[in-house]
Each structure stands twice: as structure tokens, then as C-alpha cells.
Amino acid sequence: MLARNPDQTRKTLLEAAYEEIRHYGFQAASLSRILTKAGLTKGALYHHFPTKLALGYAVVDEVIHEEILNCWATPLADCEDPVDCLVNLLQKAAEGAGREFIEMGCPLNNLAQEMSPVDEGFRQKLGHIYTLWRQALANALARGQENGKVRPDVNPAAASIFIVAAIEGCLGMAKNARDINLLFECGEGLLHYLDTLRAKPLNL
Amino acid sequence: MLARNPDQTRKTLLEAAYEEIRHYGFQAASLSRILTKAGLTKGALYHHFPTKLALGYAVVDEVIHEEILNCWATPLADCEDPVDCLVNLLQKAAEGAGREFIEMGCPLNNLAQEMSPVDEGFRQKLGHIYTLWRQALANALARGQENGKVRPDVNPAAASIFIVAAIEGCLGMAKNARDINLLFECGEGLLHYLDTLRAKPLNL
DNA sequence: CTACATACATACTGGTTGGTATGTTAGCGC
DNA sequence: GCGCTAACATACCAACCAGTATGTATGTAG
């Protein structure tokens, strides 16, 4: 009857699973709800994914992984002043997807908090994404030091750990409070910290 | 046969539920596992708690609430320099319960991240605990300003939001990485931020 | 046009879930 | 000791879960 498109079907399943998992977490995610959302059936699901766990892994590898890097890592690759650049990213994220974050949180942090103590595979996959994120940030900070935009006594690796943690922390607070203003207030604290990373201008 | 002690029984149930929830989250928490851990049966559970949800609420109200305030809020009540005091708390927490945090995370943050989008009751109860925590921190910072220990241009309310978020963020990162060193590295970033809150000494 | 594999849908299964109904025992007022 | 209730234990239930077995339609190679 309908034209078949296995790639699209797989993508539909991944997207529906992504949304379900973002809402309920992985353990409480229901395959029935996912299939209802996707407008498909178990036959389709188990044709493309052998188990629920494999579906969850695929969501991490193919959806969340790219989403996070596209949003937080890649944009840092080509910017002169990493602090300016990061501030821009934060504002863009807060204004653009603020609502989503408030209602559902960061999908990476959600899964990492839920699954890290429960499943080693999830923990490592999510940890890898965090590592890539932090590396991109650390590289940007190091380049900023070469440019003279970032203070030379800053440890890029350590700073990147804290910055990522603070971002996820702020998003988590705002999600619980369901308050976008709290996100901005929290972000202000982060901006203050980021300011302390800036090199002082030479000509004063 | 055994002597009865309803209060102790209830406490045992709460403690077992607390551990189960901390490990698996609330939704994936199994009443059977809780009862096995507690060495009790459904009769006991449903005598003391009408539903699983009520049990979860009780864990929040009677276990997590006190745990968080005792650990993070009450100690701030009587300290001259809030920054010194908070640094001490962080070190104590990291050295004392670091292992627990690494393996299971912060029970408050765990539940807040999981349940805030799913159940409004959980969200409000956990949000209330966060509010109390932040208030205690903000009050301490304000007193520090009166003492001249904290810079007067710091906004205590906004700073407390960021500090709590950063603490939870660092704990979350370390839990995913399963690495206590990452917790300390992340904590260093937080300590740098806290240092920026200090008033500069008058005699320089 | 045939043959076969891919891509699904449908129907079903064993196990687990939260919750309940019933049974039993301990403690306590009298 | 009697009688009642609180404090549990045991047995059971419908609903849902992930997963499977089977059926069917589509696309494609020959």
C-alpha cells in the first residue's frame, strides 16, 4: 500500500524514541508509546533494532551525539575569542531552545544521570560525548590563550570540566523550577565566571 | 514471634526505598526489590504507605529533605565567612561521601532530573528543598557582606542559584565519569568562582 | 512472470508491575 | 482471660512490559 522507506522508518523510530526517552527516561520509556507516537508497530521496531537497549544506544549514538556536538562543540571550532563565543552559544541556546530545556531538560544530562549507575554501556557512550564536548571547549580555550584572549594561568582542561558541569547544572535547576528566569539568573553566575577567564587588556 | 515496632518498620521501609530510588530512580524502582531489601512484605508496605507514589513522597519529605539541609544548609547558619565555610563543606562532602556520590549521585538531583517533567508533586517537593538550600546560602552570603567578607556588589540570591547548580553539575559529571579526580577538578573551578566572591582585604 | 529477501503488521507469551483481598499474629485496654 | 485493633504476612489480580512467532505485503533480482 504505502511506499516503503526503511531509512525513513528507522529515523522515525529513533525520533519517537528520543522524545519518549527525553520525557520519561530510558527505563520508564514504553515501547508501546514510542510505536504509537511513530505510527508503527512492533514488527517495524524489532526489524530495525534487536532490543530496547539497542534502540536506546542508537538514540545516544545517532541523535544525542550529533545534537550535542552541533550545538556546543562544533561552533567553538572557529572563533577567535572562546569566551565571547561561548557566551553567544549560551544566549542562543537559552533563547532558542529554552522552552524545551525547561520542560524536558538536556537529553544528554537526563540520560547520564539516570543510566550511569545502571548500565555501563550507556555510561561510557554518554561519557564519551561529554569528553568530546569538553575537549572542544578546552581546545578553544587553549587557542584563546595563544590569541591573548584568555588568561595564560587558566587550565583549559580543568576549566572546561567546570563549565560543562555548570551548564548542565543550570539547565537542571531551571528544569526543576520550570522557570526560564532562573535559567537566566543561573547563567549570569556562569557569565561572571567566564569573565574571570578573560585576559586583561594590554593597554590600560 | 518477633517484637513489633511500627516506627522502626516504617523507617526500614523508607531507608530501603531511598536506596532503591537512588540506584534506579523512582519510576524504575521496584517494590519487590525494596521489600526484599527491607526484609518485609507487601502487607507491611501498604499498611504504612497507601501507594508507591506516597512512599516516594515520604522518601523526599522525610529522608532527602533532612539529608540535604543537614549537609548543605544548616552548617551555613553559624559561620563568619560563608566562602570559607562553603569550601569546608565541599571538601568534607567530597572526602566523606565522595564514593557514594560517584556511584549513585546526589539523591536530590537524581529525583529532580527524573521526576520534574513527569510528576508535579515530586517537582514541587524537590523544588522546595532547592529553595531552602539556596535561601540558606543566600542568607550566609548576605551576612558575609555585612561582615565585610563578601564583596558588596554580589547578588546573594543570584550567586546562590549558580553555586547550587554548579555543585549539582559537578556531582553529575563525576557520577557519569565514575572518577573522583574529575570531581576534584570540577570542584577547583567552583573554588575559583567562590574566590571571586570574597571582599578584597582593606589593608593592602 | 517467478522467486526470494526485505520490511513491515498482527497475535501472542512469560514475566513483572503496582495494588488488593484475605488471613494471621501481636499488643493492649478492660 | 476476652475482645478489639494495629501490624503485619500470604495469595492473588489485572495491566503492562519487552520480546517472539507468525503472517503478509512490498520491492527486486533473474
Residue A112 contacts B, CB cutoff 8 Å: yes
CB B125 within 8 A of CB A187: no
**Structure confidence by residue, pLDDT tens digits, B103-126:** 999 999 999 999 999 999 999 999
- CA A23 to chain B, closest CA, distance in angstroms equals 7
pLDDT score, position A62: 98
Of B154, B166, B155, whose CA–CA distance to B190 is shortest?
Answer: B166
Number of A/B CB contacts below 8 angstroms equals 168
Which ipTM score applies to this complex?
0.93
pLDDT score, position B132: 98
Q: Which of A104, A113, A127 sits opposite B109 (nearest CB)?
A: A113
Determine the protein residue whose CA lies at the shortest distance from the C1' of D8. B44
Instruction: Return the CATH number of the domain spanning residue range B58-195.
Output: 1.10.357.10
Domain A6-195 adopts which CATH fold?
Tetracycline Repressor; domain 2 (1.10.357)
Residue B163 contacts A, CB cutoff 8 Å: yes
Indicate if the pLDDT at residue A1 is higher than 90. Answer: no
pLDDT score, position B17: 98
**Structure confidence by residue, pLDDT tens digits, B84-108:** 999 999 999 988 888 889 999 999 9
Question: Using a CB-CB distance cutoff of 8 angstroms, which residues of chain A are in contact with residue B188?
Answer: 158, 162
CB B86 within 8 A of CB B74: no
Average pLDDT over chain A, rounded to an integer: 95
Indicate if the pLDDT at residue A150 is higher than 70. Answer: yes
DSSP line for chain B:
-PPP-HHHHHHHHHHHHHHHHHHH-STT--HHHHHHHHT--HHHHHHH-SSHHHHHHHIIIIIIHHHHIIIIIGGGTT-S-HHHHHHHHHHHHHHHHHHHHHHH--HHHHHHHHHTTT-HHHHHHHHHHHHHHHHHHHHHHHHHHHHTSB-TT--HHHHHHHHHHHHHHHHHHHHHHT-HHHHHHHHHHHHHHHHTTBPPPS--
Of A102, A101, A122, A121, whose CA–CA distance to A112 is shortest?
Answer: A122
How far is residue B115's CA from residue A175's CA, in Å, rounded to a whole number?
10
CA distances from A128 to A124, A125, A173, B129, B177 (A): 6, 5, 24, 32, 9
pLDDT score, position B2: 66
pTM score, two decimals? 0.95
Residue B113 contacts A, CB cutoff 8 Å: yes
Q: Binning pLDDT at 50, 70 and 90, where does residue A203 land? A: low
**Structure confidence by residue, pLDDT tens digits, A30-84:** 999 999 999 999 999 999 999 999 999 999 999 999 999 999 999 999 889 999 9
C strand bases under 7 Å from protein CB: 6-12, 16-23, 25-27
Protein CA at A182 to nucleotide C1' at D3, angstroms: 60
Indicate if the pLDDT at residue A202 is higher than 80. Answer: no
Q: Which of B110, B163, B192 sits opposite A196 (nearest CB)?
A: B192
How far is residue A82's CA from residue A80's CA, in Å, rounded to a whole number?
6
Indicate if the pLDDT at residue A24 is higher than 60. Answer: yes
pLDDT score, position A192: 96
CA distances from B177 to A1, A141, B149, B183 (A): 49, 22, 35, 9
Residue B87 contacts A, CB cutoff 8 Å: no
**Structure confidence by residue, pLDDT tens digits, B138-147:** 999 999 999 9
pLDDT score, position A49: 98
pLDDT score, position A95: 87
Which residue ranges make up each domain of chain A?
Answer: 6-195
pLDDT score, position A2: 64
**Structure confidence by residue, pLDDT tens digits, B32-62:** 999 999 999 999 999 999 999 999 999 999 9
Residue type, A147: N
User: Helices A82-96 and A180-195 sit at what angle, rounded to 10 degrees?
Assistant: 180
Question: Using a CB-CB distance cutoff of 8 angstroms, which residues of chain A are in contact with residue B178?
Answer: 116, 123
Indicate if the pLDDT at residue B1 is higher than 60. Answer: no
Name the residue of chain A whose CA is nearest to B157's CA.
Answer: A185
Tell me if residue A166 falls in helix, strand or coil. Answer: helix
**Structure confidence by residue, pLDDT tens digits, A84-128:** 999 999 999 988 888 889 999 999 999 999 999 999 999 999 999
Indicate if the pLDDT at residue B204 is higher than 60. Answer: no
**Structure confidence by residue, pLDDT tens digits, B148-203:** 999 999 999 999 999 999 999 999 999 999 999 999 999 999 999 999 999 987 65
